[in-house]
A and B are shown apart, each in its own frame.
Chain A
Amino acid sequence: MAEERRFLSASGVPIALRRRQHSASCRELAVRGPRLQLRSLSAATSAVWLAAYGLFALCENSMVLSAAIFITLIGLIIYLHFMKIDQESLLVIGSLGIQVTSAYASGKESTTFIEMGQVKDVVINEAIHMQKVIYYLCILLQDPEDPEGVSEVVPLFQSSKPRLDCLIEVYKSCQEILEQRKTAPQSS
């Protein structure tokens, strides 16, 4: 069963959270950001081309215009493939682990899998980020030597940056599955 709810990101952009329950111990939470808008794309392209035309009017060299077209195309491809993340999803499988996927606008997907034995907890942390204090969800990895220690912090939903109300939903869903670890301790 899937349900989708609308929220706001930390910068005010509308995002959508989709929750799917695959089974009692497996849940998938996906945060989808807005698609690339036509008006921002045309604004950026017109700005670059106007600047190039101004330069051409100054120096009378027509290579400036072809360079501007080239730069716009290459820049758009690089932006869509490396920088524009459309959807970030979290797949929590109770006895197996947590999988974090980022899907880019060009179709590329980048995945990270963390085994459940390494996961200490999933918490909402607040930290200073670029002159703001933001809430963000993160996975705490267990320190092998120290049972109370944290060896590493893996921040989640870095590009969509949901606000606290969305993070609380995701947190509750994850905790319901992580609690099953304590109540049913199987070997390994």
Chain B
Amino acid sequence: ENSPAPLPERAIYGFALFLGSWFGFILYLIWAYVPETWLFSLGLTYWPQKYWAVALPVYLLVSVGIGYILLFGINMMSTAPLNSTHTITDNFAKKQQQKKFQEEAIPALRDIPISEVNRMFFLPEK
């Protein structure tokens, strides 16, 4: 079954990813710092422009920063306005079926209309 326990396969995957990410990082540092002439003399002439070694991280960080603001804005836009019926009910509540009341049984779960809830909370019981 599915359990989060450590397994031999998971250890191997983890180690492979560990080596792969270190290799990628060292490769990125070589690309960014080694002068172009040295790379040409080694025969590596078709690597991308060093401009991207700075541009890509900056793009990434700016999009992370914008993402915070964007998520905040999307949340505010999706919130129902105060005059919408979505603050009171929804499709599930409108189509719910009334179960019959049985003596000495726990009443069935249902969506209570807001008028009834208000009467219970705010009008004192006589």
Contact = CB atoms under 8 A, between A and B. Distances in A.
Interface in A130-161: 130, 136, 138, 140, 148-155, 158
Interface in B101-126: 113-115, 118-119, 122-123
Contact of B122 (A120, A130, A168): A168
Interface residues of B, number: 18
A151 to B, nearest CB: 8
Interface residues of A, number: 25
Interface string B60-87: 0000000000000000100110111101
A120 B88 CA distance: 13
A163 to B, nearest CB: 13
Contact of B82 (A149, A150, A158, A171): A158
Contacts of A148: 113
A155 B113 CA distance: 18
B114 A125 contact: yes
B23 to A, nearest CB: 45
Contacts of B94: 149
Interface of A: 120-121, 123-125, 127-130, 136, 138, 140, 148-155, 158, 168, 171-172, 175
Given A150-B88, A154-B83, 16 more contacts: A121-B114, A121-B115, A124-B118, A124-B122, A127-B82, A136-B82, A140-B88, A148-B113, A150-B85, A151-B85, A152-B83, A153-B82, A153-B83, A153-B85, A155-B82, A175-B119
13 contacts: A123-B114, A125-B88, A127-B87, A140-B115, A150-B85, A150-B88, A150-B89, A152-B83, A153-B87, A154-B83, A155-B82, A155-B83, A171-B118
